[in-house]
Amino acid sequence: MLENDLVNATAPTASIDPSPLRANTSDTVQQTVEAMAMAVKTYALVYSGEILEGVFGYANVAQATAELADLSQVLVEQWMTPLSQLQPSGPALAWPLTMSALYPGQLYLSVVDQARHWLGLLAPDGFYTLPRFTAAAATDQAELTACHYSVALFQQQQERLALALKGAQMGTWDWDLAQGTITISEEQERLLGLTPDEFGGTYDTLFTHVHEDDQTTVQQALQQAIQLGQHYEIEFRVLHSDGQLRWLSSRGQVFKDGEHAPRLAGVTLDISEQKRVEAKIKLQSQRERLVAEIAQRIRRLLDLDSILEQTVTSVREFIEADRVIVVQCEADLSGQVIQEACSPSYPPMLGWVMRDPWSVGEKFLAHYRAGRGLAVEDIYTQNLPASQLGFLEYFQIQAEIVVPLLQDQTLWGLLIAHHCQAPRAWRMADVRLLQSLATQVGIAIQQAKMHRELTLANQQLRRMAYLDGLTQVANRRRLEQYLDQEWRRMSREDGSIALIMADIDCFKGYNDRYGHQAGDICLRLVARILTRAAKRPGDLVARYGGEEFVIVLPNTYLEGAESVAEDIRLMIRSHRIPHEESVVAKVVTLSLGVASAQPASGGSSADLIKQADEALYTAKNEGRDQVRVASPKRSR
């Protein structure tokens, strides 16, 4: 069974009100009337705790007003119609089985007509309504009394409704679409910023003070409601004559019943406070999101410069500053601007070295070390020395916020926002934003420092892992890794790779004659000469073991590698390192073996090493101090 079928015994257009207005016996009459106006209800059910005590409607308001009751003081229970005074209307109605499911726990259901006027209460034992006039008096007198009563009740309802609407700061308006005339309440007039003689009763003068950016929106919403005969709901701004900007919310609908002229009626509320709270919440949300975004970047990025750059850019946009800088401070409190976001209208400060930043005086250091910032609304109220004032004027700084950047409780730098157009009354939210960001930047500084230290440590470890400790050229492990890497690359590119294997002649005799310390010096000198000979970035010099060295030459054919080997041999001789125990010459010499291969044709890097080693063996057996190439010789 549907709701509209529940009360056919009373009126075919009656229905259950699923959300009756509740009032408490301890509420005043004025509080209840205002609640009824806000909820657009013609009645209120009055409860004492969870027990229904009675019904209060505009008839009760009229009675209280007629007896000059103080509506702001008397309680609603004194003027309500008690539940016991409601009278049954006709025979008892059957309580539908679906009622308990539709309205669990409710013994009394409010019944209203199509216009939402209260008719009575539906209970399991019948339908109860307000007391009616009895037939004891004469019929004419009863009808006249009822008529007078109805008129008085209507007038009192109108007065109380107007009072309630005014108390709720709600304006009403009624637009006769046929005649083109508009009637508005005093409160509506006040809300729209209209003076008593300013509104002429026409559409053209109704929205005189609507903000120019919202006029089109308001007019389109009303025209659409008229054309489609539908409900409208809009929010817009009104600029009052005193310069005050207010936010209003208006809602209403078109009424076309065929019997009366079509009209558009609605109500208007002042929602400025709501908008102010929404703006504050939005600003707080934006601030928290900005801090969260920068914190997230810090967790992702390890580059301090990038983090600082994004920080100054975000802060400048968010608080609408003319310039935001990061100053890195030295121990003597001098500093340098290392990051900046600046409006093109003002001189940049990036790279500027400040010998004595005025905002880092002794009186501020205690605040900075505690992580607290400083907000200056007007530099001309700070009693600054002429030199400091001249510095600020040069950069057109008139107001600023300064917050410290701390690292391990030490003042690392400053995050500063400048306002250059004029002095500025900073909001506490702006200062808190910079302080929150300064905390995140402090974490970034520490993180970047740790990352740099870790990077340096890893680089040192890599050097130790891949460099020969004595000669500082690649060790054998690095040689094998690099040769394998280049072998695969040349295989993909169908290129050639060459290898030179060099050995210091008679090096055991050198150590025996001059000592191992001199031998180490000789090895280092030979390694430097080989490094200078390997001129291309891709060439690699490695110590193969003892007095043997290997040079890897990617993209090199046998002839080119042979030429490089001969140059190396001559360079070693030209240095004329004494070697009295040599059977070749009285200076240090090298024997060199050269091999080349095309990896795409097959073979392996191990085969290439073997070929170069065999060529070196040939060079040593045939007299040393010479270059020999692997056989068979391969050329392009």
Residues 163, 167, 173, CA angle at the centre, nearest 5°? 70
Ramachandran sector of residue 186 (left: φ over 0; alpha: ψ -120 to 50; beta: rest) = alpha
Burial class (CB in 10 A: 0-12, 13-18, 19+), 384: middle
Given the residues 34, 77, 340, 547, the one annotated as active site:
547
Q: How far apart are CA 415 and CA 429, in angstroms?
A: 16
Three-state secondary structure of 1-42: CCHHHCCCCCCCCCEECCCCCEEECCCEHHHHHHHHHHHCCC
Question: What is the strand order of the sheet 109-112 is part of?
Answer: 15-16, 109-112, 118-123, 126-129, 87-88
Q: Tell me which DSSP letter residue 494 carries.
A: T
Measured CA to CA, the distance from residue 20 to residue 82 in angstroms comes to: 17
DSSP state of 583: S
Q: What count of other Cβ atoms lies within 10 Å of the Cβ of residue 138? A: 10
- 81's tokens: 């119609």
Is 50 one of the annotated active-site residues of the chain?
no
What is the crossing angle of helices 272-300 and 304-319, to 10°? Answer: 170
- Rounded Cα distance between 101 and 110, Å, is 16
List the 245-255 sheet strands across, edge first. Answer: 181-184, 170-176, 263-270, 245-255, 231-239
In 49-152, at which residue ranges do the beta strands (DSSP E only) sit? Answer: 51-57, 81-82, 87-88, 109-112, 118-123, 126-129
User: CA 184 to CA 345: how far, in whole Å?
Assistant: 49
* Beta-carbon contacts of residue 396 (< 8 Å; ≥ 6 apart): 346, 347, 420
Question: Which residues fall within 8 angstroms of residue 604, CB to CB, at 6 or more apart?
Answer: 487
Active site residues: 547
